């Protein structure tokens, strides 16, 4: 019979090895699934994991990994701080929505004014909006001891209804022929979260655009055509990277980070050593709300461009999974966010190229998560073979 035995120290070897194990296991199980659907399993797996990174069109997909992974990482970093302290904000989706609404509202209030300060103000509004939305469960927890898991989850639905109301009412594009959705912020330069680090901005000859043009230009030596496809780096992605560093420093080098970890690992000890639980709750929920709000704001002003009824696509929930896949460690979250983005983008390619149904991709992602969560056990526990005790 097997027995689990808690390791005195989490195993370092397994901490690095288990994610790899999980990915391999998923490839195997996923391969079986794809084979059952009548697709070539090797090709399917290669399409999902290899093509976005090293395939023919990787120059486009690699930046897209940042676009997709950026918000996931940003939100997950914020959440991980709370999770470390045993504070469960699972309403990041709501904070993401409110951040986006606030950011967009500021931009639309200034429209069509052209001024440098609009974008910074939007960032501020997004951060504040997300933070205030997260402050509701925080204050209720501090004041009344209500469960933050549930309050933050309820607020997601409130936020979703608020979003629908905004898209159909207050923020609706007055020139949109009555369709729901706000103005597109991509067409409003002062509010557009445009890609930074664009590879090359030299004006290109006409022949260089389009697929056939690409070939012509590559041959003639005017390479800058690739500039058409941005680097994927926008302010939100940059903020996500800064957040990773911030969280790393906070947790490893700062007293507050120590207090957070202590609160999570030994709440009683934390209290005895003078850590104020109220402060930790307010800080953790506040900062996770702020980051989710920022993510929403950067998304609405950049890749998405407008407030619409279905603006939110579940980043707030997926980020919870990312936080756990990353073992609540900043670097781990960075990698987990990119891995998650890879399965999304690879999955889309597999849909387009191999005709895999999107349901199969969803199932595949579910499997990956299951395996990753299951093997995590090996890090903290040891499996021991024990003889069955005589009855």
Residues 27-86 contacting another protein, CB under 8 A: 56-60, 64, 67-68
Considering only 115-123, 223-231, 237-245, 330-338, which stretch makes contact with another protein by CB under 8 A? 223-231
- In a 13 Å sphere around the CA of 95, the CA atoms on its Cβ side amount to 38
| CA proximity to 114, closest of 171, 187, 170 | 187
Q: Which position among 31, 306, 329, 333 is part of the footprint of another protein (CB under 8 A)?
A: 306
Q: Nearer Cβ to another protein, position 223 or 246? A: 223
Considering only 11-19, 123-131, 216-224, 254-262, which stretch makes contact with another protein by CB under 8 A? 216-224
Q: Nearer Cβ to another protein, position 180 or 337? A: 180
CB of 382 to another protein, least distance (A): 12
Q: Nearer Cβ to another protein, position 28 or 229? A: 229
**Helices 330-354 + 41-49 axis angle, to 10:** 130
Q: Which position among 28, 229, 246, 248 is part of the footprint of another protein (CB under 8 A)?
A: 229
Q: Nearer Cβ to another protein, position 245 or 377? A: 377
240 touching another protein, by CB under 8 A: no
Token pair in block for residue 229:
């496809």
Distance CA 77, CA 79 (A): 5
370 touching another protein, by CB under 8 A: yes
CB of 304 to another protein, least distance (A): 4
103 touching another protein, by CB under 8 A: no
Considering only 103-111, 113-121, 315-323, 329-337, which stretch makes contact with another protein by CB under 8 A? 315-323
Token pair in block for residue 249:
């420093």
Residue with tokens 């729901």: 180
Q: Which position among 73, 101, 295, 299 is part of the footprint of another protein (CB under 8 A)?
A: 299
Q: Which position among 317, 333, 338, 346 is part of the footprint of another protein (CB under 8 A)?
A: 317
Distance CA 119, CA 100 (A): 13
6 touching another protein, by CB under 8 A: yes
> What's the chain look like in SS3?
CEEEEECCCCCHHHHHHHHHHHHHHHHHHHHHHHHHCCCCHHHHHHHHHCHHHHCCCHHHHHHHHHHHHHHHHHHHHHHHHHHHCCCCCCCHHHHHHHHHHHHHHHHHHHCCCCCCCHHHHHHHHHHHHHHHHHHHHHHHHHHHCCCHHHHHHHHHHHHHHHHHHHHHCCCCCCCCCCCCCCCCHHHCHHHCCCCCCCCCCCCCCHHHCHHHHHHHHHHHCCHHHHHHCCCCCCHHHHHHHHHHHHHHHHHHHCHHHHHHHHHHHCHHHHHHCCCCHHHHHHHHHHHHHHHHHHHHHHHHHCCCCCCCCCCCCCHHHHHHHHHHHCCCCHHHHHHHHHHHHHHHHHHHHHHHHHCCCHHHHHHHHHHHHHHHHHHCHHHHEEEEECCCCCC
Q: Nearer Cβ to another protein, position 55 or 116? A: 55
Count of residues near another protein by CB under 8 A: 102
20 touching another protein, by CB under 8 A: no
Site for another protein, residues 326 to 345, rule: CB under 8 A: 345
199 touching another protein, by CB under 8 A: yes
CB of 212 to another protein, least distance (A): 5
Q: Nearer Cβ to another protein, position 64 or 263? A: 64
324 touching another protein, by CB under 8 A: yes
CB of 299 to another protein, least distance (A): 7
CB of 364 to another protein, least distance (A): 8
Q: Which position among 90, 97, 98, 290 is part of the footprint of another protein (CB under 8 A)?
A: 90
CB of 117 to another protein, least distance (A): 26
| CA proximity to 326, closest of 58, 77, 7 | 77
Q: Nearer Cβ to another protein, position 178 or 274? A: 178
259 touching another protein, by CB under 8 A: no
Site for another protein, residues 125 to 184, rule: CB under 8 A: 136, 140, 144-147, 149-151, 153-155, 157-158, 161-162, 164-165, 168-169, 177-181, 184
């Amino acid at each position: 019979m097997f027995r689990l035995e808690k390791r005195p120290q989490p195993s370092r070897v397994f901490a690095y090895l288990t994610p790899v194990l999980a990915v391999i296991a998923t490839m195997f199980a996923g391969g079986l699934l794809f084979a059952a659907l009548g697709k070539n399993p090797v090709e399917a797996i290669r399409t999902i994991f290899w093509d976005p990174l090293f395939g023919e069109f990787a120059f486009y997909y690699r930046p897209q990994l940042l676009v997709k992974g950026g918000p996931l990482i940003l939100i997950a970093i914020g959440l991980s701080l709370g999770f470390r302290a045993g504070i469960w904000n699972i309403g990041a989706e709501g904070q993401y929505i409110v951040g986006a609404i606030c950011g967009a509202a500021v931009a639309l209030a200034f429209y069509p004014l052209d001024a440098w300060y609009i974008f910074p103000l939007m960032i501020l509004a997004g951060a504040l909006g997300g933070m205030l939305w997260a402050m509701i469960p925080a204050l209720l927890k501090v004041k009344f001891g209500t469960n933050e898991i549930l309050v933050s989850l309820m607020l997601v639905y409130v936020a979703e209804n608020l979003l629908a109301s905004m898209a159909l009412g207050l923020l609706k594009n007055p020139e949109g022929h009555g369709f729901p959705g706000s103005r597109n912020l991509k067409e409003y330069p002062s509010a557009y979260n445009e890609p930074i680090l664009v590879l090359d901005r030299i004006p290109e000859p006409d022949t260089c655009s389009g697929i056939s043009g690409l070939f012509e230009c590559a041959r003639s030596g005017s390479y800058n055509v690739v500039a058409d496809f941005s680097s994927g780096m926008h302010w939100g992605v940059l903020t996500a990277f800064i957040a990773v560093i911030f969280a790393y420093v906070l947790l490893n080098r700062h007293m507050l980070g120590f207090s957070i970890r202590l609160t999570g690992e030994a709440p009683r000890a934390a209290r005895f050593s003078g850590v104020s639980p109220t402060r930790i709750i307010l800080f953790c929920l506040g900062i996770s709300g702020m980051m989710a709000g920022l993510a929403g704001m950067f998304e609405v002003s950049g890749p998405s461009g407008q407030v619409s009824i279905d603006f939110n696509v579940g980043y707030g929930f997926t980020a919870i999974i990312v936080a756990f896949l990353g073992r609540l460690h900043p670097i781990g979250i960075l990698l987990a966010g990119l891995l998650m983005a890879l399965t999304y983008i690879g999955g889309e390619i597999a849909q387009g190229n191999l005709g895999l149904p999107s349901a199969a991709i969803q199932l595949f992602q579910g499997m990956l998560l299951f395996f990753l969560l299951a093997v995590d056990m090996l890090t903290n526990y040891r499996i021991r073979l024990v003889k069955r005790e005589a009855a």
